[in-house]
């Protein structure tokens, strides 16, 4: 009896020691953070997608846009440029020597009509699109050098324009200046009051995409100064980062290797097969881009889309140094 009681005592001590060991091992393991919450999609959602060029909105958020629409929410896309400074693309379409300003302008109009067709393919009306017609390949110069009317506005070396066509401005007398682009965006955000804004990340390696983030952050600051109670869920997407994602042939879209998910961590929004099919159909409407780089567009039709949320940032333009070019 005594032996058996002693044996039980030894076993109990061993069990306690083992449990204590497990506890300290658990304490040493890194804490698993819960995944960041996905964007809230409901009939109250008002999604604004900011596209530096026509096609970026579908590449980055073509699935999310469908989900908002299916939930009964509203979707709008604001195109900062018409993608009319894509010399290789214009040359592919023209094939008669050096493209002239009218060829670049015509290419931009074509991309605008492709954008309307793409939005129709996603189930959206034509009034979902707002074209600001700012200069393709020129946005990053507007952050600093061409910020204010202290100097001549920026002139596109492609279209030879220094302002958008008058029927495509929201604020009177808009020219190719940074402060004018901020005002145009603030007008869009202030009137629509999106609950979600999807905009490229500042780490996107295309200067227009990087600049898009700074202009949206600046415009958002302006809106919030006037409407202090307004807040929105800002999500970042990424299109250009080294050779991502076309080097990766898996069906799921992983975040770009070497780029951290930042303050929020990466947010994966899964797409159904039907949503993928519709996303592919929307991208097919971009005939000029399919012609120039189908392989690149195809890389974004996956079983999910990836986003991240930026750390709270107060961006006030102009900056002393353009971070994008």
Q: Which of residues 217-276 bind Zn ion (CB under 5 A)?
A: none
Q: Which stretch binds Zn ion (CB under 5 A): 45-53, 72-80, 261-269, 271-279?
A: 45-53
- Shortest distance, position 179 Cβ to Zn ion, whole Å: 23
- Shortest distance, position 26 Cβ to Zn ion, whole Å: 46
Q: Which stretch binds Zn ion (CB under 5 A): 48-56, 250-258, 297-305, 317-325?
A: 48-56
Judged by beta carbon, residue 80 or residue 121, the one nearer Zn ion is 80
Q: Which residues contact 11 (CB under 8 A, 6 or more apart)?
A: none
Q: Which stretch binds Zn ion (CB under 5 A): 56-64, 74-82, 96-104, 170-178?
A: 56-64
Edge-first strand order for the sheet with 129-134 is 129-134, 74-81, 46-51, 196-200, 233-237
Name the residue whose CB lies closest to Zn ion.
53
Q: Which stretch binds Zn ion (CB under 5 A): 50-58, 179-187, 214-222, 262-270?
A: 50-58
56 is a site residue for Zn ion (CB under 5 A) = yes
- Among residues 191, 238, 240, 187, the alpha carbon closest in space to that of 216 is found at 187
Q: What is the DSSP string of 15-58?
A: HHHHHHHHHHHHHHSPPPPPPPPPPP-STT-EEEEEESSTTHHH
Judged by beta carbon, residue 175 or residue 204, the one nearer Zn ion is 204
Judged by beta carbon, residue 161 or residue 209, the one nearer Zn ion is 209
Q: Which of 48, 53, 122, 285 binds Zn ion (CB under 5 A)?
A: 53
52 is a site residue for Zn ion (CB under 5 A) = yes
- Among residues 136, 146, 145, 214, the alpha carbon closest in space to that of 182 is found at 214
Q: What is the DSSP string of 201-266?
A: -TT-SSHHHHHHHHHHHHHHHHHHHH-TT---EEEEE-S-BTTBTTT--SSS-PPPTT---TTT--
Judged by beta carbon, residue 52 or residue 108, the one nearer Zn ion is 52
Judged by beta carbon, residue 73 or residue 245, the one nearer Zn ion is 245
Neighbours of 28 (CB within 10 A): 7
Binding residues vs Zn ion (CB under 5 A): 52-53, 56
């Amino acid at each position: 009896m005594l032996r058996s009681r002693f044996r039980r005592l030894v076993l109990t001590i061993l069990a306690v020691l083992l449990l204590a060991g497990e506890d300290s091992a658990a304490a040493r393991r890194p804490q698993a953070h819960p995944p960041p919450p996905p964007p809230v999609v409901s009939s109250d959602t008002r999604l604004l997608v900011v596209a530096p060029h026509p096609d970026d909105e579908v590449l980055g958020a073509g699935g999310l846009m469908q989900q908002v629409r299916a939930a009964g929410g509203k979707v709008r896309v604001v195109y900062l440029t018409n993608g009319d400074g894509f010399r290789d693309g214009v040359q592919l379409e023209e094939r008669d020597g050096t493209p002239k300003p009218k060829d670049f302008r015509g290419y931009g109009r074509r991309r605008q009509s492709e954008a309307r067709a793409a939005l129709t393919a996603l189930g959206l009306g034509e009034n979902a699109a707002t074209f600001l017609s700012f200069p393709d390949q020129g946005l990053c110069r507007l952050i600093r050098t061409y910020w204010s009317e202290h100097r001549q506005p920026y002139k596109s070396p492609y279209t030879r324009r220094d302002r958008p066509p008058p029927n495509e401005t929201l604020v009177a007398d808009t020219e190719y200046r940074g402060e004018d682009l901020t005002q145009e965006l603030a007008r869009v955000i202030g009137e629509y009051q999106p609950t979600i804004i999807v905009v490229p990340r500042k780490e996107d390696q295309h200067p227009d995409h990087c600049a898009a983030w700074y202009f949206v952050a600046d415009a958002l600051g302006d809106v919030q100064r006037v409407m202090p109670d307004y807040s929105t869920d800002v999500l970042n997407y990424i299109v250009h980062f080294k050779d991502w994602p076309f080097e990766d042939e898996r069906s799921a879209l992983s975040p770009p290797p070497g780029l951290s998910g930042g303050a929020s961590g990466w947010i994966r929004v899964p797409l159904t097969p039907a949503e993928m099919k519709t996303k592919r159909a929307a991208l097919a409407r971009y005939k000029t881009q399919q012609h120039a780089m189908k392989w690149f567009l195809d890389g974004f039709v996956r079983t999910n889309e990836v986003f991240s949320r930026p750390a709270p940032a107060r961006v006030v333009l102009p900056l002393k140094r353009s971070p994008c070019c």
